[in-house]
Amino acid sequence: MSAASDYIYTPSGLKWLYSTTGSNPTFLTPLTGSWVLTVAENTMTPGASYTFSLTYTDNALKTTAVVTINTNKPPSDGLFYLEKTSGTALITIFNGQMLGWVDEDLPLSYSFSISPQYTSTTLLKYISGDTSYTEYLITGP
């Protein structure tokens, strides 16, 4: 048994390390001093492997946790066909097909944003579902 005076406080350290088969991600949090690690959106390469390790050290202990993340590749080789290219929100029904898509994760799901013809602004409305759907109604702004 030790007395309270025998305890020597030393600051602990947390440090993240990583290795990858893809591009280097952009981190939104520091790689030292925090157990939280946040990677910026769209900075990890599709189809790559990322291994992250977090090491904690102090004067009496060193321990490491490791996690490997394999990023998914986007679907490929497919077509999206709509029979109409314009219409009126809440009135026009668009019939379409998604043909020939290849991916390891099936069934596929999707979402599409809609832009009015007179502006480059994209509305925050989406058509979404899985590849079995063939009829779409645009709900408008």
13-23 per-position pLDDT tens digit: 899 999 999 99
**The pLDDT value given to residue 85:** 76
Rounded percentage of the chain residues whose pLDDT exceeds 70: 66
**The pLDDT value given to residue 74:** 82
The number of folded domains in the chain is: 2
Asked if 115 and 64 sit in the same domain, the reply is no
Q: Report d(CA 2, CA 4) in Å as an integer.
A: 7
Write down which residue in 51, 70, 89 finishes a domain. 70
- Sequence-separated (6 or more) residues with CB below 8 Å from residue 38: 27, 28, 29
Asked if 113 and 84 sit in the same domain, the reply is yes
Domain region containing 46:
4-70
Asked if 57 and 37 sit in the same domain, the reply is yes
Asked if 62 and 106 sit in the same domain, the reply is no
Give residue-wise pLDDT tens across range 21-75: 999 999 999 999 888 999 999 899 998 999 999 999 987 888 999 999 999 888 8
Asked if 84 and 66 sit in the same domain, the reply is no
96 vs 131, more confident: 96
**Tokens matching residue 47:** 């189809």
**The pLDDT value given to residue 30:** 92
Is the Cα dihedral 102, 103, 107, 112 positive or negative? Answer: negative
The pair phi, psi for residue 65, each rounded to 5°, is -115, 140
Q: Report d(CA 46, CA 22) in Å as an integer.
A: 8
Asked if 84 and 116 sit in the same domain, the reply is yes
Q: Report d(CA 107, CA 27) in Å as an integer.
A: 32
Write down which residue in 18, 36, 70 finishes a domain. 70
Give residue-wise pLDDT tens across range 126-138: 455 555 544 555 4
